[in-house]
């Protein structure tokens, strides 16, 4: 589609740009920054939070706040709970999820971060924003609990040990707001359920209806 500098692409988490926290990430960031469009990134679970990486600053963008590094001005990381004006619609960003592969990551020395899920402070801010402003679209990493695609559960993972507190909290959010569309990633599947859009290898334009 040859997107240009006036276009915006939303990435719904696990962007891969803040995995090591230093120079090893620079090649990924440079590649993403040079794509052409602005990239608005929602926080995933397999990546560091920007405020824990040197060089990020919080800036105003499209009515909300994003974390940006000066060397990569097209790579924007949404602050959770911020509401952005995209295509004339109010879009709130809610990142984070639990890593079901946490034991493997810890055992093998892979990246895992304790703050992968939204904190109580982040949750309170999201709820405050939603009580004060009407929104059209939710941009999240994971989905509300009632929409979990159980067919995508990993075999060999004991689900009784999975922390689903973020999904259950998102259930309360989903039940309390009126929205046009909800876009999420995390689950490695592409499908629609009601107004819930799961995206993995596909992409969509923002839904206006």
Give 5-53 pLDDT, tens digit per residue: 899 999 999 999 999 988 899 999 999 999 999 999 999 999 999 999 9
- Count of all residues that appear for the chain in the document: 209
Strands (DSSP E) found in 79-128: 83-86, 89-94
Q: Which residues pair with 68 in a beta bridge?
A: 57
What pTM was estimated for this model as a whole? 0.95
Tell me, what DSSP letter sits at residue 108? H
**Range of 20's domain?**
8-198
Q: What is the pLDDT of residue 1?
A: 75
The confidence band for 207, taking pLDDT boundaries of 50, 70 and 90, is low
Strand-strand pairing, 38-41 and 56-61: unpaired
**What percent of the chain clears pLDDT 70, i.e. is strictly above it?**
99
What is the tally of structural domains in the chain?
1
Does the residue 190 lie in any domain?
yes
State the first-to-last Cα distance of the chain, in angstroms, to the nearest integer: 23
* Interval 133-157 mean pLDDT: 95
Is 25 within 8 Å of 19 (Cβ atoms)? Answer: yes
Does the residue 13 lie in any domain?
yes
Query: What count of other Cβ atoms lies within 10 Å of the Cβ of residue 133?
Result: 11
Residue position matching structure tokens 């915006």 = 8
């Amino acid at each position: 589609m040859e997107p240009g500098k006036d276009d915006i692409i939303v990435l719904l988490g696990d962007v891969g740009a803040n995995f090591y926290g230093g120079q090893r990430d620079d090649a990924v960031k440079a590649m993403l920054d040079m794509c052409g469009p602005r990239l608005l990134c929602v926080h995933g679970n397999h990546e560091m939070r920007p405020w824990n990486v040197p060089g990020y600053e919080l800036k105003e963008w499209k009515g909300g706040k994003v974390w940006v590094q000066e060397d990569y001005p097209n790579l924007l990381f949404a602050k959770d709970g911020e509401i952005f004006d995209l295509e004339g619609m109010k879009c709130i960003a809610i990142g984070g999820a639990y890593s079901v592969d946490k034991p493997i990551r810890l055992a093998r020395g892979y990246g895992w971060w304790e703050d992968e899920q939204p904190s109580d402070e982040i949750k309170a801010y999201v709820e405050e924003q939603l009580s004060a402003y009407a929104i059209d679209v939710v941009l999240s990493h994971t989905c509300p609990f009632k929409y979990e695609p159980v067919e995508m559960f990993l075999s060999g993972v004991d689900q009784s040990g999975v922390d689903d507190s973020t999904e259950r909290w998102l259930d309360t959010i989903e039940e309390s707001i009126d929205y046009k569309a909800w876009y999420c990633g995390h689950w490695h599947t592409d499908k629609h359920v009601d107004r819930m859009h799961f995206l993995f290898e596909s992409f969509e334009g923002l839904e206006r209806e």
